[in-house]
Every structure is written in C-alpha cells, then in structure tokens.
Amino acid sequence: MPLLSTYQRNRLLMSLAAAAACLLFWFAGAWFGIPRHRGFENSLALQPSAAADLLLTGVAILAATAVGTVFAGSIRFDAGLFAAAIGLAALSCRGGPMRYVTQAAGGRGVFLALALELVVLGALLGLAWFGLWLLYRAGHLRGDALRDGLRDQPHDIGERVYALLVQAAVMSVLVMLLARTDDKKQVLAAVAVASFAATLMSYAFSPVRPSVWYWAGPILVGTFGYLTAYLSAGSMESVGWKSGAGGGLLAGLARPLPLDYASLGTAGAILGYWTSRQWQRAKELEKDTSPA
C-alpha cells in the first residue's frame, strides 16, 4: 500500500514547487537589491536600474517555471507557471504598498510606467507559458485532457476572447470591491480571490482551453486600472494618491502593484481554471451514472 495517495502526492509536489519558487525569488531579490529600499517603493520600472531588474525578474520567472515543472510537471503542463506566479508574490512582499510608489513619483506619468511594467511582466509570463506549451505539444508534458479526463473540444478565437473579456470584467468589479486600501496583504488577497472567482464564472460561460485565456485577464485588469488612474490623477498632489487610496470609482484597480497582478492574479486564474475543469468532469460523471 503506497504511503501517499495520488491526491496527497500531487499536493506535496505542488507545495514543493511553490516553496522552491518562493525561495528563488526571495533570495534573488535580496542578492540583487530588488527593490532597492526593502519595504518601500516596489515597482520594477521605477527602480534605479529598471531595465536590469526587469531582465533579472524575467530570468527568475523562467528559472522558477523550470524548477516548478521538474517538481510538478507530471501533474499539469502549466504547473510550473503556477509555481512561478506564487514565487513572484515573494518578490512583491519584499516591497511596500502603492502609496510609496506614488509618494516618490514626480507626476501622474508613474501610472504609465506601471502599465508598461505589467505588460512586460505579462509578456515574460507568456514566454514561460509558451515554452511549456511547446513541451506539451512535443509530448513531454501532460495536457489538460489527460489530467481531467475531459475530451479536448475545438474553440474558435471568438470564444476564447469572450472568456478573456468575461474574466477581466468580473475580476475588475471584484477588485474594486475588495481592494479598499493599498495595504499589501489586502491587495494580494483581493487580486487572488478576484482572479480565482472571475475564472470560475468565466469558465461557466465559456469553457475554453488552455489556461492562458484566463490568466491574461489580470494583466488586462491592471493595465486598464493604471491607464484610468493616469487619466484621472491630475497633478498627483492630491492626498488620495499620496496615501495610496486614490479617488473615483475605478481607483481600486490601481491600488495593487504590477507584481501583485502578475503573481497572485496569474496563480488565482490558473487555480480557477483547474478547479473549473475538475467540476466540469465531476458533472459529466454524475450525468453518465445517473439513471435514465
């Protein structure tokens, strides 16, 4: 009799993958001084060596994805990316909340820098995901169908874009409701819960694959939030943004930092995608075994 069930083994492997990624990002941040002032302005694009810090973060994302795949790639082909996203949250926790970024900003152009940073982080995550996708297509990693027992269904681009837009729209509403301040713990929890719940709802309306059509949602939400903050921030001399609170209906979307959206936003969406597929399979099994 095995010491661990398949479920317990998978949980253990995923936990090890996430822990390894967290350690990688934490010590990389400590070694290379990211952020430069620990506990304060935690925007990669606004660091003294922004290009180098973004490049180092990209290398860390690829490395954490590889390490996570070694540990948990036998579970799902995108398990390595999930672990890397969890690890990226460790880098985010090395810095402070949005208020320190806006206090150090010379003008509302800071929000354009944040939007650009998030787009770059999304591209780096996309590069890591594409590498995993190539390994899956080559037969080296298990696909969703083998893990869930669901048959792969064809989906056109319209269905996939619809799923992405629903995820982003629902997540936007939830982040505005949950991110009431820029407190680090609150915004991380808000982004994670909102991304997870939005993916569950989006999948219910449009059950497409692969997971990229859901975890791209947090990147869209954060970018939209920073652009609207740029348009409404005025001279940046108001108490609102200097205290991290902002102002207006959409201010909550700009309270999380790019690292917050890219880390637990991505992880929450991937977890929501996995959960949705498991629920869908359970419903199909229940339907198949129910009496006519």
pLDDT by residue for the chain (292 residues), tens only, comes to 467 777 788 899 999 999 999 999 999 999 999 988 887 778 999 898 999 999 999 999 999 999 999 999 888 889 999 999 999 999 999 998 998 888 877 778 899 999 999 999 999 999 999 999 999 989 888 877 767 777 777 788 999 999 999 999 999 999 999 999 999 999 999 999 999 999 999 999 999 989 999 999 999 999 999 999 998 876 555 546 655 566 677 889 999 999 999 999 999 999 999 999 988 877 766 666 655 5
Quick one: angle between helices 266-289 and 212-232, nearest 10? 140
Q: Does the residue 26 lie in any domain?
A: yes
Burial of 73 (C-beta count, 10 Å sphere; 0-12/13-18/19+): buried
pLDDT at 288: 62
Q: Does the residue 266 lie in any domain?
A: yes
> What residues contact residue 115 under an 8 Å CB cut-off, 6+ apart?
222, 223, 226, 227, 230
196 contacts 272 by C-beta, under 8 angstroms: yes
pLDDT at 241: 61
Q: Does the residue 243 lie in any domain?
A: yes
Q: What's the whole-model pTM score?
A: 0.92
CA nearest 67: which of 101, 107, 22, 12? 22
Chain centre to alpha carbon of residue 272: 11
Q: In the chain, what is the greatest distance between 2 CA atoms, to the nearest angstrom?
A: 69
CA contacts within 13 A on the Cβ side of 112: 5
pLDDT at 105: 76
pLDDT at 154: 77
* Number of compact structural domains in the chain: 1
Q: Does the residue 280 lie in any domain?
A: yes
Range of the domain at 192: 6-289
DSSP-assigned letters across all residues of the chain: --SS-HHHHHHHHHHHHHHHHHHHHHHHHHHHTSSSSTTS---GGGSTTHHHHHHHHHHHHHHHHHHHHHHHTTT-TTHHHHHHHHHHHHHHHTS--HHHHHHH-SSTTHHHHHHHHHHHHHHHHHHHHHHHHHHHHTTSS--HHHHH-PPP----HHHHHHHHHHHHHHHHHHHHHH--S--HHHHHHHHHHHHHHHHHHHHHH---SSTHHHHHHHHHHHHHHHHHHHHH-TTS-SHHHHTT---STTGGGGSS-HHHIIIIIHHHHHHHHHHHHHHHHHHHHHHHHS--
Give the number of other CB atoms < 10 A from CB of residue 101: 26
One-letter amino acid at 82 equals F
Q: Does the residue 1 lie in any domain?
A: no
Q: Does the residue 248 lie in any domain?
A: yes
Task: Measure CA of the first residue to CA of the last residue in the chain; give whole Å.
Answer: 37
Instruction: Using the structure block, give the residue that is written with the tokens 């939209």.
Output: 224
Chain centre to alpha carbon of residue 230: 22
One-letter amino acid at 185 equals K
Burial of 25 (C-beta count, 10 Å sphere; 0-12/13-18/19+): buried
Q: Does the residue 31 lie in any domain?
A: yes
Q: Does the residue 218 lie in any domain?
A: yes
How is residue 6 written in tokens?
A: 């398949």
One-letter amino acid at 245 equals A
